Structure 1
Amino acid sequence: MLAIVQQTISVTAPVFSMLFLGVALKRFGLIDAGFINTASTLVFRGTLPTLLFLGIIKADLSTALQPALLLYFVVATLGCFLLAWGWSILRCPEADRGIYTQGAFRGNNGIVGLALATSMYGDYGLSVGAVLGGVVILTYNVLSAIILAIYSPQAKTDVWSLSKNIASNPLIVGVLLAIPFAAWQIPLPAWLLTSGGYFAQMSLPLALICIGATLTLDSLRQGSGVALSSSLMKVLWLPLLATLGAGLCGFRGADLGILFLYFVSPTAAASFVMAKAVGANYELAAAIIVITTLASVMSTNLGLLVLQLVGWI
């Protein structure tokens, strides 16, 4: 149990350090609102799509492709999305429903989920987690683009406009462009992969610094009820339902463990970037990321302990 706690903290602690760095840089006047806007745009339109592209083309699709596991994850994610959306209608103002829903279902699987899966299950966790990550990225970004477009003050909600928002989303474009390269093993020059890697590695630090710089006590107090409700959905209720469903469907061992780690991971930093890009309540998005990142340390370890006690993993 202690080893699992240490693994979880080792993954989440760097996330918190970058958040606190953003707070400190803003307080000492080293970054301002202009930097936050520019950096968030750069992450959304440049570095993060590049990171997703490179992550998918490096995944080993042939050895870790498990249709049943992938299908269950997509169905469960859609179910979690609909539950969170329905609950948001009861729990929060209309303008914040997109942020609430995205915060409740969209996990940080590319960083936290994959790292824990690899730490617990070695090469198997890495290969299955990487392939699952490609499905995660596409599913999360399509659903997030839809829900944010519906409730964004800057977006139109007719079918054509929603379709354009999805098709033009840089994160989705990055994933779709990578699929043929991964499927057909199209080689890219080594220098291009190295340069792209340098560019992509800015994604998480920049996003987390911007989130930290955006956080204030006032914003946390004003959105505390909504943020806490969305966070509990993310790290408690939805992982509980999705993992229970996976167990009832017959998943056991490493496969169930990987599914649980992906369901229980804290809200992705990309949710803040997307919220800011569409003019939504990005301060609420930042608060949800902070709360879920802290709470996931407890929920992850408790969930793993319970799954081990019942003999499912």
Structure 2
Amino acid sequence: MKAIVVTGLGQGPRGLQYLEVADPLAGAGEITITVRAAGVNFADSLMLAGKYQTRQPLPFSPGLEVAGVVESVGHGVAGFKPGDRVLAIPSYGGYAEKVAVAADRAVPIPDEMDYVTAAGFPVAYGTSHLGLWHRARLKAGERLLVLGAAGGVGLTAVELGVLMGAEVIAVAKGAEKLAVAAAQGAHHLIDAGTDDLKAAILAAGGGVDVIYDPVGGALFEAGLKAANFEARALIIGFASGDVPQIAANRLLVKNVDVVGFWWGAYADKAPGVMADSFRTLIGWWQAGRLRPHVSDTRPLEQAAEALELVLERRSTGKVVITVG
């Protein structure tokens, strides 16, 4: 099969190679999937740099979410058969024509869900829903601040926050990205380049109850200064490259919770919680309550370009690689 392969760390997207490699085999408890589409995520770049939470042995293919058709099932697998349409979250390996994945990391997709939509669904929607619902305990009527609000996960946080009844303040860079957040229902729009972000947040109706932060750096610090009493700050990632150092006295004075959240850990540590989240999300999609936004698709051989779109923040919503 063809696959995008990393042979050495620290080379960035341009170090990716389009190669012929051996087909994967389904081990016990696994299925193999003929990949039709694969989602592109910032985390893929961390894998390339050897900075992701888990490290893969070289050579490997990046890619944390795929959609396709079950090709084969391994020993002990129940509930899947060849020909089933699925989305899945492999630990890596999604940038390929085929991938082997643990069966409990895959879920069936409705017949009406196309593969591009399905491939861009798990990480972005899963991160935002599990983070807001399970970790941040977002309640209807609360004020939700979304940083990086036009990115892959940020845009789904805007959409889900509105769906869950929150008043959403979206922060993104430039009018074009803010317009995308507005289209997903954001109630207030703030340019990330504003001189005084804290003041802009407060001017948009007051402090915030939940901070959704995949960016880090100065944006997080400004958001934390605008936190209400008993606010929750949800740490998703550090796309800015700047990991903020949090002043503990600010947490003490306002009784603020800072909540760490790595969505991928739930696949191993609490798969039932992740499955409940997926069931809710797919149900909302089938009911027409979610509108996934894919801004760009690229064929497998152009995976480096697809990843660069994400890293250079030239995309909004999801970028998806198409296969076959």
Measured against the shorter chain, the TM-score band is: under 0.3
Structure number with higher relative contact order (C-alpha < 8 Å, ≥ 6 residues apart): 1
Higher helix proportion: 1
Tell me the TM-score normalised to structure 1 length: 0.26
Tell me the TM-score normalised to structure 2 length: 0.25
> Which structure has the larger Rg?
2
